[in-house]
Amino acid sequence: MKDILVLHTGGTIAMQENATGEVSPGATNPLMDAHLDIPADVNLIVEDIFNLPSPHITPEHMLQLKNRIQEVDVAGVVITHGTDTLEETAFFLDTTIGDGCPIVLTGAMRSSNELGSDGLYNFESAIRVAACPEARGKGVLVVMNDEIHTARYVTKTHTTNVATFRTPTFGPIGLVTKQRILFYQELIVNDRLAVDAVAGHIPIIKAYAGMTEELFELLSPATIDGLVIEALGAGNLPPQTLPAIKRLLDQEIPIVLVSRCFNGVVEPVYAYDGAGKQLADMGVLFLNGINSQKARLKLLIALNHPLKGADLKTFMVTQ
């Protein structure tokens, strides 16, 4: 038998709709009593570790999940989670645990009693993937709507559509069919960092046309430990922001940069005032392939390891 640890954390998959259309958590998780059509050789070890809407999830909850997973010896792990921050929990676990047993996150866009509810099907699919030998060594995975995505690159792209989870630029790495689990791509292996704390304040700032120093001037080394910027295009900023960015860098506040664009990567290729080449020369770190919320977690993990200087830069810029 294959023991699969199931950690329920709440979210829409564990909620119900009332007569007026409001969706909220109930006294019990409907998945706890659901009939599941899963492989005969799978034994589920089920825990309601917490029951929270995903906007309530914090890095401390992510650390709690990490610690629980590392306490057990099982063939795989499935985590049910609200979709709003599912990608962040998945990324945190992928960056801190490494390639042990398969860890699969799933959720739902429709609550358990809504017409066309997708939760139970996604849950069964996630169990099948977690029990699949081919899933080992592929990092943390997200299984939704018959697709298998890597935690590193997947993101929520639609507020309500059941096909909300997508991997920009690269696409899913596998599919769930009626009878098989199919993998088509291999993920580049990255370094993982073990952490036992998630202390630190790292805000995210999004760039826009006409941006000046004002938002950056609200930040100081006394109140932040790092900064993530969603830059324009391939990694450029309005030139009026540069003095404030330089002041933060001079005070050894690490600044990482991603693009606000949905697809593509950042590169310091433009050489005008405020462009990527100038920002890179100043010491801004360019992160490829991940969005700002994941960049924030990656920097938080790095600072709690702790990494500094060249080691911090190498870890952060590695894809």
Domain-located, residue 211: yes
Mean pLDDT of 284-301: 96
Instruction: For 127-149, write each residue's pLDDT tens digit.
Output: 999 999 999 999 999 999 999 99
Establish whether 48 is an annotated binding residue: no
Whether residue 85 sits in one domain with residue 25: yes
Same domain, 234 and 156: no
Amino acid occupying residue 18 = N
pLDDT of 204 strictly over 80: yes
Q: Are 164 and 249 part of one and the same domain?
A: no
The first and second tokens of residue 228, run together, are 């993530």
79-126 pLDDT, tens digit each = 999 999 999 999 999 999 977 899 999 999 998 888 889 999 999 999
Please report the pLDDT score of residue 24 as a whole number. 82
Q: Is residue 198 part of a domain?
A: no
- What dihedral angle (degrees, nearest 10) is formed by the CA atoms of 106, 112, 115, 119? 20
Residues 142 and 242 in one domain: no
- Same domain, residue pair 113 and 25: yes
User: What is the domain range of residue 124?
Assistant: 2-183
CATH number at residue 259: 3.40.50.40
Please report the pLDDT score of residue 193 as a whole number.
Answer: 95
Q: What is the CATH number of the domain that holds 55?
A: 3.40.50.1170
The percent of residues in the chain predicted with pLDDT above 70, rounded, is: 99
Three-state secondary structure readout of the chain: CEEEEEEECCCHHHEEECCCCCEEECCCCHHHHCCCCCCCCEEEEEEECCCCCHHHCCHHHHHHHHHHHCCCCCCEEEEECCCCCHHHHHHHHHHHCCCCCCEEEECCCCCCCCCCCCHHHHHHHHHHHHCCHHHCCCCCEEEECCEEEECCCCEECCCCCCCCEECCCCCCCEEECCCCEEECCCCCCCCCCCCCCCCCCCCEEECCCCCCCHHHHCCCCCCCCCEEEEEECCCECCHHHHHHHHHHHHCCCCEEEEECCCCCCCCCCCCCCCCHHHHHHHCCEECCCCCHHHHHHHHHHHHHCCCCHHHHHHHHHCC
**Catalytic one among 83, 89, 95, 106?**
83
* pLDDT on residue 109: 95
Query: How much of the chain, in percent, has pLDDT values that exceed 90?
Result: 84
The verdict on residue 259 lying in a domain is yes
Q: Is residue 197 a part of any domain in this protein?
A: no
Greater model confidence, 316 or 114 = 316
In 3D space, the residue among 22, 42, 9, 43 whose CA is nearest the CA of residue 111 turns out to be 22
Taking the model in full, what pTM does it have? 0.96
Both 269 and 211 in a single domain? Answer: yes
pLDDT of residue 113: 84
| Banded model confidence at residue 43, pLDDT cuts 50, 70, 90 | very high
pLDDT value, residue 25: 82
**Which residues are within 8 A (CB) of 138 and not within 5 positions of it... i.e. 6 or more apart?**
99, 102, 150, 173, 183, 186, 187
Residue with tokens 């063939």: 75
The residue among 189 and 238 whose pLDDT is bigger is: 238
Instruction: Answer yes or no: is 303 within a domain.
Output: yes
Residue with tokens 């599941």: 36
Give the model's pLDDT for residue 114: 82
Average pLDDT for 221-233: 96
Nearest 10 degrees: Cα torsion 186, 192, 196, 197: -90
| Pair 237, 174 in one domain | no
* Comparison of pLDDT for 25 and 131, the residue scoring more: 131
User: Are residue 270 and residue 306 in the same domain, yes or no?
Assistant: yes
The answer to whether residues 209 and 146 belong to one domain is no
Whether 267 has a pLDDT exceeding 90, the answer reads yes
Look at residue 194 and tell me if it is in a domain. Answer: no
Report if residue 195 sits inside a domain.
Answer: no
Domain boundary among 127, 154, 183: 183
Nearest-5° Cα angle at 311, 150 to 68: 45
Q: What integer pLDDT is reported at residue 30 of this predicted model?
A: 80
Nearest to 150 by CA among 129, 134, 167: 167
Average of per-residue pLDDT across 271-293: 96
Q: Are residues 166 and 210 in the same domain?
A: no
Confidence band for 18, pLDDT divided at 50, 70 and 90:
confident
Give the residue from 134, 150, 183 where a domain finishes. 183
The pLDDT of residue 237 is above 80:
yes
For residues 51 and 179, membership in a common domain is answered with yes
Rounded average pLDDT over 214-225: 93
Q: What is the mean pLDDT of residues 200-221?
A: 96
**Co-location of 176 and 212 in the same domain:** no
Q: What is the pLDDT of residue 112?
A: 82
* Average pLDDT of the residues in 188-196: 87
Angle, CA 65 vertex, CA 101 and CA 49 arms, to 5°: 115
Q: Is 160 a catalytic residue?
A: no
Residues paired with 287 in a beta bridge: none
Clarify whether 12 is annotated catalytic: yes
Decide which of 154, 183, 212 is a domain's last residue: 183
Whether 189 is in a domain gets the answer: no
Catalytic, out of 12, 80, 95, 241: 12
Tell me whether residue 106 is annotated as binding. no
The residue type of 261 is: C
Number of domains making up the chain:
2
Q: Is the pLDDT of residue 319 over 90?
A: no
Q: Is residue 165 very low, low, confident or very high in pLDDT (cuts 50, 70, 90)?
A: very high
Q: Is 83 annotated as a binding-site member?
A: yes
